[in-house]
Structure 1
Amino acid sequence: MESEKLEQVWRAVCDQVKSYNNIDPSQINAFFSRLQPQAMSEDFLMLTADNDFIKTWIERHYVDFIKQALMDLYRTAFTVLIEVDIAAEAARANPAAPAPATGASTAGAPAAPATSAGAATGTPASDGGHAAAGEPAVVQPAVQQTATEQAPRAAHAAAAYEARGCEELEGDPYDEDETDGPDRPTSTLTFENFVIGDSNRMAYSMAVAVAEMPGKAHLNPLFIYGKSGLGKTHLLRAIQNYVHETMPNLSTIYVDSAELLSDYMEASAAHDKEKSSYKNFKTRYEEADVLLIDDVQYLQGKKQTLDIVFQIFNKLTGQGRQVVLSADRAPKNIDIDERYKSRFNSGGTFDIQPPEIETKLGIVKSFVDEYRATEGKASFAIPDDIQMYIAESSSSNIRELKSAVTKVIYQMTFFNQPDLSLDDVRSLLENHFSGGPSKRLTIADIQKEVETFYKVSHADLVGKKRTRNIIYARQIAIYLSRQMLDLPFNDIGKKFNRDHSTVMYSVTNVEEKMKESRELREELETLKQLIREI
């Protein structure tokens, strides 16, 4: 089949897959753009992926949808084969290639990725970054495109940067101001010290892809969301750091939404948009090559600021310059105009889930390692049982986790208690955690929050009514009671006037729905946070 015809067929397949229920079109754009059709016959399609991670991910999650799309389009059962592009693999393996290096030897570059187990032990995955024990390696996208395929300004800057032997360009119009400010990188937040686990692997991979090649259409904007304390800011700062280190002649600006709002209010104080203060405000952001805006959910209800952000957003993406956004919820769940939601969701949208125990333990170990390095105390150690207790007891908020480690470190060093026992740590952190064993929740607490969230009465929640909204709220409350309190089904049933089998069915039903519905998973995380804050 001719290459042009093959590309047309592949585009039709992609569009067909995006039309299916429970498919996120932005993720299809992100992943399928990393596939190239190579050959096709009556019942066979061969694709190549640019690395092993993409190959494995597509095979696990999307190959059945590709087969279904081919069946729907051609009424024929297809065999779909995906192979890794050998040339792309060789380009990544060749350190002399002109692509930016992705090893720990490059300043600010991502370290060799680890699996969850690797993250927990602080040991990088072996074999050139491939994950161990059958797990897919974290994508470290190689730069394969030519300069003309990249975003215009990023391509120009990268080519000039390489031509000068990676020296600083003199008089480059896009150089950053050397004074301190929000567009300066935060050196401590890099890809190297981001602990990777199953809960954040995809968001991390896409952040790396954007950092290495800012401005690519399928990831512009990049939207990362997840509740507070899961690492969104870390990834945004890591992108800023990486671009600053590898392409210093590109202007990178990181700004929190609260700061952006404050800047706008100050610039607009005179209520005269011709004033230089307003022009300077808008020009600063419009001249960024990479603009990173954190916590955009705080712009809800700020119509004028949103309008300005939208103008800046459209101008930058229209010129092929990169925009990265973060929020504590998906774009569709932010209370803003539909046109903003649509544009925010038009590139790649990826969530960070609460970390599993292995990832939290990896973060604890990483924080202890950082303390040893910065304080020059090579022999300092926190016993393994104490590290595990902190990981198991903490909520999903990484800030809470790190502050618990800090408390233990200070107790062992400043208060001279190097032989701190697990019982001592339990007493020390008794009131520290917002969730976990130290939080004394009750079924009544959970019922109250669920009733408020779904606007149902307590009498209806525990009564006999079976309207759809009441059954839904009741099953959610039962599921949360089981998960957060780990009580027997029978004990939970007594509080809802239900028997053992009804409670078991409710829990199983919610668990099954969670597999298919990201919206439900977000609802449950929001409810858990509300309950923990009681």
Structure 2
Amino acid sequence: MDSEMLEKAWEEVCSQVKGYNNIDPTQINAFFSRLHPQAMSEGFLMLTADNDFIKTWIERHYVEVIKQALNDLYQIPYTVVIEVDVTAAQPNVQAPTAASAQQPAQVSHPTANAAAPQLAADATAAAAATAQITPPAAQPLSANTVVSSASAVPEVEPFGSSSNQVYPDPIRDDRSPYATSADVDEMGKPTSSLTFENFVIGDSNRMAYSMAVAVAEMPGKAHLNPLFIYGKSGLGKTHLMRAIQNYIIETLPHLTTIYVDSAELLSDYMEASAAHDKEKSSYKNFKTRYEDADVLLIDDVQYLQGKKQTLDIVFQIFNKLTSQGKQVVLSADRAPKNIDIDERYKSRFNSGGTFDIQPPEIETKLGIVKSFVEEYKLNEGIHELSIPDDIQLYIAESSSSNIRELKSAVTKVIYQMTFFNQPDLSLDDVRHLLESHFSGGPSKRLTIADIQKEVENFYKISHAELIGKKRTRNIIYARQIGIYLCRQMLDLPFNDIGKQFNRDHSTVMYSVTNVEEKMKESRELREELEALKQLIREI
């Protein structure tokens, strides 16, 4: 099969997959664009992926769907083999079309009735015939936070002081709004410390990380334009935004890249429009600055809700850039559908790739702690500094999902060990040092009242309505969600939950079962519940 026929057949398979129930076409566009057909014959299809993560994700979640699509199209069962082609996503891509240069190899394959061992052998031979394919390289763990050198001894009191001392945070803010000469050094290298190399990857952020890398390598691809990353404060959204900016500055220096926080954008717009004359140079310069960007990154767009004029301007700029194939990246602390803005903005924000960052699991937080300590040792030249494993684990387990709180706790311990000459801090010492530091973690005992309050705020109903007798649709919905979350997050008996909602055992059981059934069918409900859980965890 020649390359043109092969590409056409793959397009038909993709279209078939997107037509199935419970398949999100946006996700298919995002992932399948990272797959490239290499060989196809009767009962056999070989694909290559840009990296090992994409390969593994497709194998776990979509291989059976691809097989089903092939079966439906050609009426015979297919074997699908996926390998990694590391040349398809080189880190120093110089042009958006670089990945399209690879040519598929023609590989013959016996019919689908061949024995399984023979299929495996032929798949291996097919892989060998494709010259570009090499085994996947292991991805090293990298840090989500970076420490910069402290210029002077901080003004803090010795361990055991009774005052509520605020310790300085040695982490750079990295929020300068524009990629001007201030963002690069004399060699043209980015000055911001937030890069892909020092981002700790875990299950909670792997998807968003992978899509951010895809955009940085090849900005402007339609299926990821815009790229929308969302998650609660302190989970690493700004890190990924800055990493995209830095990667493009370094590898594609001919592109104009602008990063701006929505607060900066709003202030910039207010200053530019203060003269109320759109012919004035200040206003023209404001709009031109953004419209001339090849890559525009806007952080924390939820702060633009209620700012109609600014949103209108952003929407105009957004549409102009994306229509020209220029890349837009947005971030927020919630999904587009949960931002209180006009429906047309939500639809456009959601039209590319939308990916969330979940609160980090213990392993990821521990990885961040270790990377933080190593970075500090490197920056300060204190190679003998060592924080015992039990103290590192205590910090990871006790901190909330906010990485800034985690960094601050490590900083506090480091300063105590170094500036106050207490290198042998014990775990009990650290517990005492950080006893008032953490806002959440295991020390916080969650209650039914906590969950009820967050549900009431989220769905904008009163406590009396939540536990009362009203049966309007929105109240019943919120009540069942509250009951479900109490059961799942607190693992309390149905009777105990029922007493707090003025309901009996059977009503509570029905509510939980009903929500569980709806979750199976609704991705939006699953996202909504996850957003609520995040709010509750951060109480």
Kept after mapping to 2: 8 A contact 1:229/1:399: yes
CA change 1:300–1:16 in 2 (3 A) is: farther
Alignment partners' CA distance in 2, 1:97 and 1:435: 43
Alignment partners' CA distance in 1, 2:469 and 2:71: 46
Alignment partners' CA distance in 2, 1:386 and 1:503: 41
Question: Which TM-score applies when normalising by structure 2?
Answer: 0.75
Kept after mapping to 1: 8 A contact 2:179/2:258: no
Matched to 2:49, the amino acid is A
Alignment partners' CA distance in 2, 1:457 and 1:498: 17
C-alpha displacement at 1:197, in angstroms?
0.5
C-alpha displacement at 1:98, in angstroms?
8.2
| Matching of residue 61 in structure 1 with residue 61 in structure 2 | yes
Residue 138 (structure 2) aligns with = 130
The one of 175, 196, 210 aligned to 1:205: 210
Kept after mapping to 2: 8 A contact 1:240/1:253: yes
C-alpha displacement at 1:264, in angstroms?
0.7
| Matching of residue 79 in structure 1 with residue 78 in structure 2 | yes
Alignment partners' CA distance in 2, 1:413 and 1:198: 34
317-326 or 513-522, which deviates more: 513-522
Matched to 2:410, the amino acid is V
CA change 1:25–1:330 in 2 (3 A) is: farther
Matched to 2:78, the amino acid is T
After superposition, the C-alpha distances for 1:131-170 in whole angstroms (9 at most, x for unaligned) are 69xxxx99xxxxxxxxxxxxxxxxxxxxxxxxxxxxxxxx
Question: Which TM-score applies when normalising by structure 1?
Answer: 0.75
After superposition, the C-alpha distances for 1:50-81 in whole angstroms (9 at most, x for unaligned) are 4443232112112233334445556x353241
Alignment partners' CA distance in 2, 1:323 and 1:411: 43
Kept after mapping to 2: 8 A contact 1:45/1:78: no
C-alpha displacement at 1:235, in angstroms?
0.5
Alignment partners' CA distance in 1, 2:493 and 2:430: 29
Alignment partners' CA distance in 2, 1:446 and 1:398: 23
Matched to 2:77, the amino acid is F
Matches within 5 A, 1:107-146: 129-130=137-138
C-alpha displacement at 1:377, in angstroms?
0.9
| Matching of residue 338 in structure 1 with residue 343 in structure 2 | yes
Matches within 5 A, 1:99-248: 129-130=137-138, 177-179=180-182, 185-248=190-253
C-alpha displacement at 1:251, in angstroms?
1.9
Matched to 1:371, the amino acid is Y
| Matching of residue 34 in structure 1 with residue 42 in structure 2 | no
Q: Where does the alignment leave 5 or more consecutive residues of structure 2 unmatched?
A: 97-134, 143-177
- What value does the CA root-mean-square deviation take over the aligned residues? 3.7
CA change 1:350–1:409 in 2 (3 A) is: same
Matches within 5 A, 1:253-332: 253-332=258-337
SS at match of 2:528: helix
C-alpha displacement at 1:176, in angstroms?
6.9
SS at match of 2:82: strand
Residue 170 (structure 2) aligns with = none
C-alpha displacement at 1:363, in angstroms?
0.7
Alignment partners' CA distance in 1, 2:11 and 2:266: 41
Alignment partners' CA distance in 1, 2:525 and 2:311: 27
Q: How many residues are aligned here?
A: 463
C-alpha displacement at 1:411, in angstroms?
2.5
Kept after mapping to 2: 8 A contact 1:219/1:348: yes
Kept after mapping to 1: 8 A contact 2:205/2:356: yes
SS at match of 1:437: helix
SS at match of 2:341: coil
Kept after mapping to 2: 8 A contact 1:35/1:50: yes
Alignment partners' CA distance in 2, 1:515 and 1:67: 23
Q: Where does the alignment leave 5 or more consecutive residues of structure 1 unmatched?
A: 101-126, 139-174
SS at match of 2:372: helix
Alignment partners' CA distance in 2, 1:178 and 1:212: 22
CA change 1:319–1:465 in 2 (3 A) is: closer
Matched to 1:32, the amino acid is F
Alignment partners' CA distance in 2, 1:128 and 1:11: 26
Alignment partners' CA distance in 1, 2:376 and 2:483: 42
Alignment partners' CA distance in 1, 2:296 and 2:56: 31
SS at match of 2:259: strand
After superposition, the C-alpha distances for 1:278-298 in whole angstroms (9 at most, x for unaligned) are 111111112222211111121
Matches within 5 A, 1:464-483: 472-482=477-487
After superposition, the C-alpha distances for 1:167-208 in whole angstroms (9 at most, x for unaligned) are xxxxxxxx9753569x99452111111000011111111211
Alignment partners' CA distance in 2, 1:488 and 1:331: 35
CA change 1:361–1:13 in 2 (3 A) is: same
Kept after mapping to 2: 8 A contact 1:67/1:77: no
Matched to 2:218, the amino acid is M
C-alpha displacement at 1:234, in angstroms?
0.1
CA change 1:358–1:507 in 2 (3 A) is: farther
Alignment partners' CA distance in 2, 1:176 and 1:462: 52
Kept after mapping to 2: 8 A contact 1:430/1:438: no
C-alpha displacement at 1:82, in angstroms?
2.8
